[in-house]
């Protein structure tokens, strides 16, 4: 049988096993849902506060944005963290030693990362609609929009996570990465309409996929008249697909090159050097 086909099958099995382990471990579950739970509590407390005299509350407007940020933020970090850790403990080196091992390795990581994000989205959506209300997925069109925005957002985020995981040397780098990403959430219209920001910040936010993921989710979950608070009073589906698609294509092309380079330079000596630096930081 073709080694590549075998590697893909092995990756699918590996991804499913990792996903099952993730959702049967209490500590991992807290890590997966802790932040989202806090955000939902805050939105619940804001459920009766209307946004600038509209018929929608701040919580109802923010829930779709929260879902969009979960897709991009967690999709990116799910790959980044695991790649950095697997380079440090030799997992990536062992995968490289197996024929087509890198293909199976990456398939497994994509399956587990995407699966964990989809599960988080499903739980937050269900709980959010139940305790906050105001949104719904009425009709086939809304469901179709929800699905294509979810898939394109994942495709935009996962390759960027792979690139960062391949170039960052240690887990400290992934921790420091959270600060600019939190800033990006603040200017992406996630918890309040981006139209409330200065024009130059609106332009910066629209460069990145997080804004477009949140916009797409709002178009699927909110009633049609909610579009009045968006830029140009439009859901801009074509622009959403174009920007997310461009990030996905660019990310996939760059990630393929970066991952090949990382695998080629991965060796026992490089892994030992990273461990030594980690030990020095610890002591």
- The structural domains of the chain, with segments of one domain joined by +, span 3-282
- The token duo for 9 is 């099958």
pLDDT tens-digit readout, 227-276: 888 898 899 999 999 999 999 999 999 988 888 887 776 665 655 565 56
DSSP H helices in the chain: 3-22, 26-45, 58-89, 91-97, 101-131, 139-167, 171-186, 199-205, 209-221, 237-265, 268-282
The predicted structure's pLDDT at residue 78: 85
pLDDT tens-digit readout, 158-211: 999 999 988 887 766 677 788 888 889 889 988 888 888 898 999 999 999 999
- The token duo for 201 is 């910040």
pLDDT tens-digit readout, 128-163: 888 887 667 778 889 999 999 999 999 999 999 999
- Examine the pLDDT at 106 and tell me if it is beyond 60: yes
For the chain, percent of residues with pLDDT exceeding 70: 89
Count of alpha carbons within 13 angstroms of residue 242, beta-carbon side: 6
Confidence of residue 282 (pLDDT cuts 50, 70, 90): very low
The predicted structure's pLDDT at residue 57: 79
């Amino acid at each position: 049988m073709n080694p590549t086909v075998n590697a893909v099958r092995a990756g699918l099995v590996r991804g499913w096993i990792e996903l099952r382990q993730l959702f049967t471990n209490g500590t991992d579950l807290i890590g997966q849902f802790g932040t989202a739970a806090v955000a939902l509590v805050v939105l619940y407390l804001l459920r009766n506060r209307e946004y600038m005299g509209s018929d929608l509350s701040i919580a109802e407007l923010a829930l779709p944005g929260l879902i969009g940020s979960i897709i991009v933020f967690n999709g990116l970090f799910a790959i980044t963290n695991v790649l950095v850790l697997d380079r440090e403990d030799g997992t990536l080196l062992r995968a490289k030693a197996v024929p087509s091992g890198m293909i199976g390795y990456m398939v497994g990581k994509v399956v587990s990362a995407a699966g964990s994000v989809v599960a988080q989205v499903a739980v937050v959506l269900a709980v959010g609609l139940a305790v906050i209300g105001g949104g719904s997925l009425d009709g086939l069109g809304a469901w179709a929009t929800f699905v294509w925005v979810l898939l394109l957002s994942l495709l935009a985020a996962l390759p960027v996570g792979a690139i960062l995981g391949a170039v960052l040397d240690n887990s400290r780098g992934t921790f420091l990465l959270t600060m600019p990403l939190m800033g990006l959430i603040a200017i992406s219209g996630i918890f309040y309409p981006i139209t409330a920001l200065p024009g130059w910040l609106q332009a910066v936010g629209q460069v990145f996929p997080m804004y477009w993921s949140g916009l797409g989710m709002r178009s699927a979950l909110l009633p049609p008249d909610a579009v009045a608070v968006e830029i140009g009073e439009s859901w801009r589906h074509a622009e959403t697909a174009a920007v997310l698609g461009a990030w996905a294509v660019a990310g996939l092309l760059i990630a393929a090159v970066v991952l090949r380079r990382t695998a080629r330079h991965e060796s026992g000596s490089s892994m030992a050097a990273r461990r030594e630096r980690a030990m020095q930081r610890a002591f």
